[in-house]
Amino acid sequence: MWTAPNFVSDTFHDPNVRLTFQNCIDNFGRYGYLDNVSSTYNNGGSQGSFLYTGTYQQGGDYIGMWIQSGYASLSSTYNDHLRSGYYSGALGLVNSSTCL
Amino acid sequence: MLVTLGGKYGRAFGVAILVTASVLSLAGCSNSAGRADASGESASDANSSSSDLKGFAQWVMPLDEFRVYPMQLDNYAEQLQLKNCLEPAGYQWPVPWQDTNFPQPEDFNRTGYRLFNKDIAAKHGYHLAPPQNEKEAAAWVQFDQFSQSYGDDAAFHAKFSSCLDGIRSKDGLKYMNDANYISELGSQATSVAKQEKAVQSAVERWRSCLTPKVSFAVPADPWAEMPPISVGEQFGIIGQNRTATPTSDEIAAAVADADCRDSSKVSETLYLAIQAQQKKLVDKNRDKLDRIRADATQHQKDLLRIVAENAPAAP
């Protein structure tokens, strides 16, 4: 996930400055990405991913991405409004030590 | 699994979600929903009918009827097709069985909305409820770990990309984008609803109720920020020391939270406000939503056929 559109960071427009995760992140705030994501891509090969407007899969609204797909420019209601992310296998996982 | 840029597969589908910008102009105009009083309050219990709250417990919303099937079905069918393409080339791709009803844990409704009420709080605190089928969930975690075992094998990734291109050649990402269009409308409705005075007043009542009952600073948004990071770490729902079950302190806080949501009517007020906004959006975008639903209904049949023809036997 990146803080600017087109898969780059706000700072220096660097594609390598990004937040990546496997399985899940319950709170982007732990990594400085709370309400700060503008483009996103699911580079996985086996599971869809879901990004929520609330921490811990809360908020009710989420954007889903198939494997090998993403959004170069999130819409205004999701841009800078995402707070947690999960791959489908991690949805509802209890005590997932693999979450960031 | 990795959320990042193109990378090893080297492809990026950059698709901007459509924005119905005009909807944003509805902010603060809740009177048009017919449930507002002269002070600008809206969606209060005094003006809501029992039919409006009929789906409250499961957070049923007007846009739900257009969500024909969960996005996980697309992935399951796609994974089975990938298996058919990869395995003849000598690559194992052991896709596990998956229940195509995609039963949700008790703390999620059928569209993936996370529910929170006193019963859930008393049983699970802020922890997630267990999956309906823990063996199935574990099998998918195991499969995902296997899928990453190819590492940087360039020949595998070339074949993988070729297979995926073939599977998606007909419709591309159409159904993903359609599903996200509906989600986008839902998100717009939520954004507008949260700006309503009635909702903001209810949030303040909730905060006033909960603040003396817990030992942490109560956040501004009960639906997107509970519990705060430091408290989540303390309760073992985030960070390095996760626990499978809640402590009594966590349950006490969660139950107090749920009680305050009830007494302040904050969830009920937001529910009615979102419902009203979604009704407007459904009316405004009816033609497109009807088309999406019709397409998805047909596509679901195709996906279920692929699954029926290719899925492993249920354990």
Mean per-residue pLDDT over chain B, rounded: 86
The alpha carbon of residue A29 is apart from the nearest alpha carbon of chain B, in Å, by: 8
Nearest to A47 among B1, B112, B236 (CB): B1
User: Which of A3, A40, A43 to probe by mutation at the B interface, max B CB count within 10 Å?
Assistant: A43
Lookup result for tokens 């030992």? B215
Structure tokens at A47: 């599971």
Q: Testing the interface with A: which of B3, B126, B183 to mutate, by most A Cβ within 10 A?
A: B3
Rounded CA separation B241/A96 (Å) = 10
- Flag whether residue B244 sits within 8 Å of chain A, measured between CB atoms: yes
According to DSSP, the residues that pair with B271 across neighbouring strands are none
Of B59, B179, B187, the CB nearest to A77: B187
Nearest CA-CA distance, residue B40 and chain A, Å: 24
CA dist B274 and B282 (Å) reads 12
pLDDT at position A94: 55
Looking at residue B10, what is its pLDDT?
33
How close B167 comes to chain A (CA, Å)? Answer: 12
pLDDT digits (tens, 9 = 90+) for B206-264: 999 999 999 999 999 998 889 998 899 899 988 878 888 999 999 999 999 999 999 99
CB contact under 8 A, A66 and B74: yes
Provide the shortest C-alpha distance from residue A12 to chain B (in Å). Answer: 16
- Short-list B60, B144, B59, B65, CA closest to B98: B144
pLDDT at B4: 43
pTM, 2 dp:
0.85
The answer to whether B140 and A47 have CB atoms below 8 angstroms apart is yes
Mean pLDDT of A57-73: 92
User: Is B15–A71 a contact, with Cβ atoms under 8 angstroms apart?
Assistant: yes
pLDDT in tens, B258-282: 999 999 999 999 999 999 999 999 9
Q: Given a cut of 70, is residue B20 above it in pLDDT?
A: no
